[in-house]
Amino acid sequence: MRFPISPAVAGVQSPPITEVKGWLAGRSFPPERPLVDLCQAVPDYAPASELTRYLAEIIHDPQVARYSPDEGLPEVREAVAAWYRRRYGAGPQPSQICLTIGASQAFWLAMTVLCQAGDEVIVPLPAYFDHPMALQTLGVVPVFVPFAEGEQEGGELAPLAARISPRTRAILLVTPSNPTGAVASPARLAQLLALARRHRLALVVDETYNAFLPGPPHQLFADPQWDDHLLHLASFGKTFALTGYRAGALVASERFLHQALKVQDTMAVCQPRITQQAVRYGCERLDGWVTVNAEAMRRRHDLFRGEFLAPGNPFALAASGAFFAWVRHPWPLLTGRQAARRLADQANLICLPGEAFGPGLENYLRLAFGNVRETEIPMALERFREFAVDSTLGSVRSA
């Protein structure tokens, strides 16, 4: 290569899902021992059939192939605002919503407006890997709050507050957590928003999996001044099984979105119209469908947890919920990447290494059970019990 690469980008980890799936290149899997994919968190079910029929009807309309306003079509943002009001009991106005190319682009918009190179964002561990990757690409420093297994949710804010510095611009929280599945309580979120206010920071809340919770996740939108310090990231791709459509949103004050649209126009111009119409249809007509799938996912989680905790499993369950289980592997001499590779090679099972989610997490693995059907879960979990561990050598042999 004859031209230089940005050192900031060169120092960012490679996408871990791409890496892990690359381990499978050239392999085939026998019917009696198929691949179990616990790697990527996507719904295993198709979008609602009525939604796909609707999209097939409108695809021939020439307007669907054209740009929309940068922030999205007014009628779509109205539908999204109404969805928020039903989901949370309160929510943003349409003018406080910018439709984005997935929640990842919403995060990029937020960070680009908030930060410049050398600024800091507080990131509790384990962290969704795309977030530190994006921050480092921008030259922003992720300031990690270490993970303490077994710590009660809603514990002291002191470890987080102690990391606030003059360079801090935001506190980031993902709930339900990717990778642990843990859900921040309404009280915890209220405390974090109050902390952000005291220090004139943004609280950035990524709720990609909020539709899979049994009730309202919090009451932050009921605060009349919520938009002074809250930035909210949404993913309708998970909600309506439209992950490839890239259906996200950034929710913020009109003042903030005025600045974000400068970046939007240079980055993507707008969310594709076909995606916007899918989001509108889902928000207006699919509440019941979403509820049925959320209940099925909760049953899947309960079954997964019960099977995982059955006797004979050398892996320890550190946390679980929503789409994920966060587990401690039993090989003290192996990194998470080596443990994940061993499972791929010997158990035909793929998952993500803990170190993909931040430093000091080499003892962990992320399992995404959202794309494994209920009938497949016992077989998937049997793969973990197939190993007996020599904890001294960190070796493994087939049981």
In the chain, where are the structural domains located? 7-46+289-387, 50-286
Identify the pLDDT of residue 154.
46
Identify the pLDDT of residue 391.
45
In the chain (399 residues long), the average pLDDT of successive 10-residue segments reads 81 88 88 88 90 95 93 97 94 97 95 96 95 95 89 68 95 94 91 95 95 85 94 95 94 96 94 96 96 92 90 90 90 93 91 95 93 85 74 47
Is 7-46+289-387's fold the same as 50-286's? no
Identify the pLDDT of residue 217.
83
Amino acid, single-letter form, for residue 79: A
Domain 7-46+289-387 has CATH 3.40.47.10: no
Contacts of 120 (CB under 8 A, 6+ apart): 140, 141, 142, 143, 165, 167, 168, 169
- What is the C-alpha to C-alpha distance for residues 325 and 328, in angstroms, rounded to an integer? 10
Tokens of 384: 């973990």
- What is the C-alpha to C-alpha distance for residues 313 and 387, in angstroms, rounded to an integer? 8
Any idea what DSSP says for residue 62?
Answer: G
- CATH level 2 (architecture), domain 50-286: 3-Layer(aba) Sandwich (3.40)
256, 113 contact by CB (below 8 A): yes
Nearest to 126 by CA among 180, 175, 185: 180
64 burial level (CB within 10 Å; 0-12, 13-18, 19+): middle
178 burial level (CB within 10 Å; 0-12, 13-18, 19+): buried
Q: What are the distances in angstroms from CA 369 to CA 18, 20, 162, 281, 302? A: 18, 16, 35, 27, 11
What is the maximal distance between C-alpha atoms in the chain?
A: 66
Identify the pLDDT of residue 208.
92
- What is the C-alpha to C-alpha distance for residues 107 and 227, in angstroms, rounded to an integer? 16
Tell me the sheet residues that pair with 249. 99, 234
281, 82 contact by CB (below 8 A): no
122, 195 contact by CB (below 8 A): no
Q: What is the pTM of this model?
A: 0.90
Which segments within 262-348 are labelled E, that is strand? 316-321, 324-328
- What is the C-alpha to C-alpha distance for residues 124 and 182, in angstroms, rounded to an integer? 12
